[in-house]
Amino acid sequence: MRLLPRRGIALVAALGVMTLLSLLVAGAFAASLLGERSSRLTFSDASLSASADYAITTVLADPAGYGLADLPFGQPRSFDVVVPGGARATVSVTRLPTSVLWLVADASIAGIDQGHRRVNMVARFPTLAVLPPAPLVARGNVIARDSVSFSADTTGDPDCAAANAFDVVTPLGATATVGDSARVGARASAGDSTTYYMSSQQLALLDSTGPLVHVRGDTTITGGTFTGILVADGSIAVTGASSFIGLVIARGAITATAGGFSLTGAMMAYGNPANGTTAIELAHATIRYAPCIVANAMRRASRPKPVRQRSWAELF
């Protein structure tokens, strides 16, 4: 039996091998491109996450510089943050009730490996104590009858606006000698030292930081204007025309009878009712209850801290 020769089989085999090699080369090239792109995307993802975290931490670490304590209630405010590495970042901050801050950092990278990352964080200013329930709060007796006028600021934010507040608050057993139009209330909290920010934790948070002045004893004020929080370990005597905006706290007594004294905010005196001394004595003074100003001064004197398990990120 004679076999017939098969013409062209070598050409077919050569073409097949070349095709297989071409597929292998193309596959290797595609895998190389995908690996390179995956590496770039991984770097871009890490860069975006780091940029967003950097931006939100930068704003939270400088509350005074970005004015976080003075943000309008419920209205977001945006800040552009310069991030090393070329990414663009914007942080939006919204102040919510009970001194809560909602921060949203938006970071983006342009170009062939463009990306977008949004990180959310909830922070809060430390709650030192409840706001003073009246412009004058004292553990002992109060005298504010001789030409002392009281008013209240009702235009503040919803979480701190004054509504039907007393003019003077003392604990049971203390007396308040005031004008006929002044309203006096009795509360057990007026006899608690924590109401006057006297616990070790409260003093540690408010010890001469920001707009707070801590006097280690008695002090005499002859005049001028003070804005913020004044804490005196002893008594406070005001002997000249003075204007206070914020919160005044004395472990002893507060006296301002020379005239020309005005207060916008609140005043608190722990005093010592056991020896019969007067905790607060005012004359020829103008008192305006403004709890929102007190709340603002307290935020300025503290630093917001992130709330645990209340942060998240959005991937794009």
pTM for this predicted structure: 0.78
The pLDDT tens digits for 60-75 are 999 989 999 999 898 9
Q: What percent of the chain has pLDDT over 90?
A: 36
The mean pLDDT of 46-58, rounded to a whole number, is 86
316: confidence class by pLDDT, cuts 50, 70, 90: low
Burial class of 7 by CB neighbour count within 10 A (0 to 12, 13 to 18, 19+): exposed
What residue segments make up the domains of the chain, in order of their start?
Answer: 10-124, 136-300
Q: How far apart are CA 181 and CA 189, in angstroms?
A: 24
Across 20-29, 84-93, 96-105, which has the greatest mean pLDDT?
96-105
SS3 of residue 303 by DSSP: coil
User: Does the pLDDT at position 103 exceed 60?
Assistant: yes
More confident residue, 169 or 45: 169
- Do you know the residue count of the chain? 316
SS (H, E, C) the chain: CCCCCCCCHHHHHHHHHHHHHHHHHHHHHHHHHHHHHHHHHHHHHHHHHHHHHHHHHHHHHCCCCCCHHHCCECCCEEEEEECCCCCEEEEEEEEECCCEEEEEEEEEECCCCCEEEEEEEEEECCCCCCCCCCCEEECCEEEEEEEEEEEECCCCCCCCCCCCCCCEEECCCCCEEECCCCCEEECHHHHCHHHHCCCHHHHHHCCCCCCEEEECCCEEECCEEEEEEEEECCCEEECCCEEEEEEEEECCCEEECCCCEEEEEEEEECCCHHHCCEEEEEEEEEEEECHHHHHHHHHHCCCCEECCCCCEEEEC
The pLDDT tens digits for 199-256 are 777 777 666 556 688 888 899 999 999 998 898 989 999 999 999 999 999 999 999 9
Q: What number of CA atoms fall less than 13 Å from residue 38's CA on the CB side?
A: 6
